[in-house]
Amino acid sequence: GAVVSQHPSWVICKSGTSVKIECRSLDFQATTMFWYRQFPKQSLMLMATSNEGSKATYEQGVEKDKFLINHASLTLSTLTVTSAHPEDSSFYICSARDLTDNNQPQHFGDGTRLSIL
């Protein structure tokens, strides 16, 4: 089945550091990928929709200059948390769906646990 790979799994870094997270669709092309954020014991909150070859669509309240998204190819989207601070610590998960088949569900990456000291 469709697989989405996300890297890295864990990041621990100092405040002010920028962190890049990669999301790859391994066996299908994904013109659209999704980035979610999840706080402990809470649901998945959509941050933005990443569109191949065009600008990402951000959800209300998500700072586009803070969370930079690049979707340069049909299999790769990246999320960069710029100048990260402790409040950015969270579990970030990407997902993708093979849009050529409406019966396909969303497939999630393993997620990235980001801890900012």
Partner 1 sequence: GQQVMQIPQYQHVQEGEDFTTYCNSSTTLSNIQWYKQRPGGHPVFLIQLVKSGEVKKQKRLTFQFGEAKKNSSLHITATQTTDVGTYFCAGPKSGYSTLTFGKGTMLLVSP
Q: How far is the CB of 33 from partner 1 (least distance, A)?
A: 10
CA count, 13 A, side-chain hemisphere, 90: 18
The burial of 66, by beta-carbon neighbours within 10 Å (0-12 exposed, 13-18 middle, 19 or more buried), is given as middle
- Count of beta carbons in the 10 Å neighbourhood of residue 13: 14
Q: Is residue 32 within the footprint of partner 1 (CB under 8 A)?
A: yes
- Residue number with CB closer to partner 1 (5 or 80): 5
Quick check: 106 binds partner 1 (CB under 8 A)? yes
- From residue 34 to residue 73, the character string flagging contacts with partner 1 as x (rule: CB under 8 A) and all else as - is x------xxxx-x--x------------------------
